Amino acid sequence: MAGFSVGEWVLLTSQKGKKWLVKIEDAPYSCHLGTIHMTDVVGREEGDIIETNTGAKLFLFRVSLEDYILNMKRQTQIIYPKDLAAMVFHADLHPGQTVLESGVGSGALTLCLLRAIGDGGRLISVEKRPEFAAQAMENVSRYFGAKHPAFHLVIGDIQDFSLRGPVDRVFLDLPEPWHAVAPVSRVIREGGLLLSLSPNVGQVQWMWRELKARGFANVSTFELLKRDWKIDELRARPFDRMVAHTGFIMVARKVRRNRPDVPPLQSSSA
Ligand SMILES: C[S@@+](CC[C@H](N)C(=O)[O-])C[C@H]1O[C@@H](n2cnc3c(N)ncnc32)[C@H](O)[C@@H]1O
């Protein structure tokens, strides 16, 4: 890959792993380890080291989607990387698919969906708060460098949403996702997957009832616990603190309508 150029973002990383996401422009950048002039980064390769004016060494890396999401502007809670990764995988997302998402919030999930479906896919994202929609649009465009061709942002309430043509996947991150199940069940194609993330188990139970009533099967519910470890010459143990809870992920599949041979819904987790 070519060296860094003006206008790009670079991830400056200290020897201790502290990270700064900085735009490459004709300006100095200072942190507690000293100052570098950002134009000195131009032409260097990923993994190179640059020295600050105090002699501290910083690695130069390109920004991963995880780094970007954790550093972007946000006015809402976002879905954390461990859950984003699992949702994209369990949805069996691939390039070219049509996806419906609500709410959009700051756009963390939106970014992952767009990366997975690519330019040839179609993402319809429904958000009822215009100020959050504007922030998400800015976060998405800043990441991709321009408006993403697959991204269609709709300001409105998912409960009033209607769409012509089926979608392959639905993603919900809403305070009351069960109210969205009826409208999305009319647009998701048979065999399509619906994923929902909720922090409270009460929400999950409401969702389960609604999914059951609206013709979804293979409903599974899980949460993921990620425990980071501290490893160095002297220590190999878990960190004292962890993010113990983020949310429950639900995955369900739409069954064919009006088929007497379709068995009644059962939870796939025993
Ligand atoms: C937790 S945030 C979503 C965060 C987002 N998934 C992310 O990763 O950045 C929930 C969003 O749902 C939106 N919302 C709540 N109810 C809604 C509804 N009925 N229709 C559309 N959007 C809704 C809120 O305005 C908020 O922006």
pLDDT of residue 92: 98
Going by C-alpha positions, the residue among 170, 209, 211, 207 that lies closest to residue 192 is: 170
Expressed as residue numbers, the domain containing 107 is 67-254
Q: Is 268 within a domain?
A: no
125 lines ligand 1 (CB under 6 A): no
pLDDT of residue 265: 44
The model's pLDDT over 32-43, given as tens digits with 9 standing for 90+, comes to: 999 999 999 999
What total of structural domains would you count in the chain? 2
Q: What's the pTM value of the predicted model, to 2 decimals?
A: 0.92
- Shared domain check, 219 and 138: yes
Q: Is 231 within a domain?
A: yes
- Shared domain check, 80 and 156: yes
Show Cβ contacts of residue 238 under 8 Å, excluding neighbours closer than 6 positions: 227, 228, 229, 230
- Shared domain check, 132 and 46: no
- Shared domain check, 95 and 173: yes
Confidence of residue 258 (pLDDT cuts 50, 70, 90): low
Q: Is 40 within a domain?
A: yes
Q: Is 1 within a domain?
A: no
Residue 269 has pLDDT above 60, yes or no: no
Domain edge (last residue) among 41, 63, 85: 63
The model's pLDDT over 66-116, given as tens digits with 9 standing for 90+, comes to: 999 999 999 999 999 999 999 999 999 999 999 999 999 999 999 999 999
Q: Is 4 within a domain?
A: no
Of ligand 1's atoms, which has the minimum distance to the CA of residue 103?
12
Going by C-alpha positions, the residue among 50, 1, 79, 17 that lies closest to residue 243 is: 79
Q: How far apart are CA 93 and CA 98, in angstroms?
A: 10
128 lines ligand 1 (CB under 6 A): yes
Give distance in angstroms: CA of 135 to centre of ligand 1.
Answer: 12
The model's pLDDT over 116-154, given as tens digits with 9 standing for 90+, comes to: 999 999 999 999 999 999 999 999 999 998 999 999 999
CATH number of the domain encompassing residue 21: 3.10.330.20
Q: How far apart are CA 82 and CA 87, in angstroms?
A: 9
- Shared domain check, 94 and 14: no
Q: Phi first, then psi: what are they for 125, rounded to 5°?
A: -115, 120
175 lines ligand 1 (CB under 6 A): yes
Ligand 1 mutation target, pool 113, 128, 132, most atoms within 8 A of CB: 128
Whose alpha carbon is nearest atom 26 of ligand 1?
105
